[in-house]
Structure formats: C-alpha cells, structure tokens
Homo-oligomer: A and B are copies of this chain.
Amino acid sequence: MGRRTESLEFAVLGLLGDAPLHGYELRKRLNVMLGSFRALSYGTLYPALKHMVAAGFISQTDEPPAITKPLAGRRARIVYRLTAAGRARFAELLSDVSPATWEDEQFGVHLNFFARTSTETRLRILEGRRARLEERLAMIEKSLELTRERLDGYGLALQEHSKDSVQREVLWIDRLIDSERRGGDSRTHTAQHG
C-alpha cells in the first residue's frame, strides 16, 4: 500500500467515526482534509472503499429509500459506516508515531485527528515532523553551497524561497509544541497566524 492510500484509509476511518457518509460527500471532506492540489478521483476512492469493506473495517448499506422526503428520483446513495473492527483499526493508526507519520501526506491527516490522541503522541509526532523539516533544510543548504556559482538569480531566488517556507513551517511547529507543553490549549493554535 502506497503512502497515499495509507493516509486515505486513515482519513476515511476517522471521518466515518464521526458519522456515516456516502461516497460523494466523503470525497468532498477528504479533499479538504488531504488538502491536495488535485482532487481525489473516484477511480481512487471507490476501489479503496471496496477494499475497506472487504477488510471488514467499514460496512456499506443502501440508504433507506424514503424517510421524510421522497428524494425525488435522485440516484440511490450508498452509506458507509464504521464497524467495530474499523474502530479498532483507527485507534491503532491514531497511536502510530512511526517515521511515516511525519511525512507530508500523513502528517496533515494526523494533525486533523490530534484532538483524539494523547499529549504524548502529539508531541512525538510534532517532534518527528520538526526533525524531518530540519533534514530538509540541511539538504537545501547543502545544495545552495554546491551550486551557488552555477545558479543564476532566478534559481537562487527559488532555493531561498523554499528554504524560507521550510523555516516558517519549523517556527509554526515550534509554536504547536510550545502550546502542547504548556497544557495544550487548542485555542492558542489559531491565535498566532498572519
């Protein structure tokens, strides 16, 4: 399973833990959570859902035909629900603090479910992420040294800009770590942007 599919599974499990959803709505929420440049395609989502049903993590049910509104002619929707096994699987993924969790894709999803983890787990992931960003910074610095004469103003500007972005993310992570250590007041996270 590729790193993309892995965070997809995690995100689906987490979203269905809140409420049962059908594929179309799930996709919209996943697009927000995965925050990806390109939208998730149905060719990725539906097979993944199928796979998760086969694995027993979620169940699929046809939406009850009519409750209050006659849902005039609209195509029947399939509602996905989390099973007990799925809940267990989600808990397992939630407590994961392996290096995979600080890579771009997974880190974002984990952050979205941070409220359901322990402070310890949060700190481990945040510190791992920080280390990962420092590595990236070192790589950029090394390549700046090696190619300073070879690059023209444009190439240099690009390198400096990406260095800057990574440095900013480090500062952001530092603020999250700080507020986590000071007792984890979730309101402080959003108070210091811009």
Question: Can you sample 27 A-B contacts with CB below 8 Å?
Answer: A31-B143, A32-B143, A32-B146, A32-B147, A35-B140, A35-B158, A35-B159, A37-B104, A37-B136, A108-B158, A111-B155, A111-B158, A153-B188, A153-B189, A153-B190, A156-B189, A156-B190, A157-B176, A157-B189, A157-B193, A160-B190, A161-B169, A161-B172, A161-B193, A164-B168, A164-B193, A165-B165
Considering the chains assembled together, what is the distance between the CA atoms of A186 and B159 in angstroms?
Answer: 14
Considering the chains assembled together, what is the distance between the CA atoms of A157 and B186 in angstroms?
Answer: 9
Mostly, the A contact residues are helix
Nearest opposing residue in chain B for A158, CB measure: B111
Known: A112-B155, A164-B168. 15 other contacts (CB 8 A): A32-B143, A32-B147, A35-B140, A35-B158, A37-B104, A111-B154, A111-B155, A111-B157, A112-B151, A114-B154, A115-B153, A152-B186, A153-B187, A153-B190, A157-B193
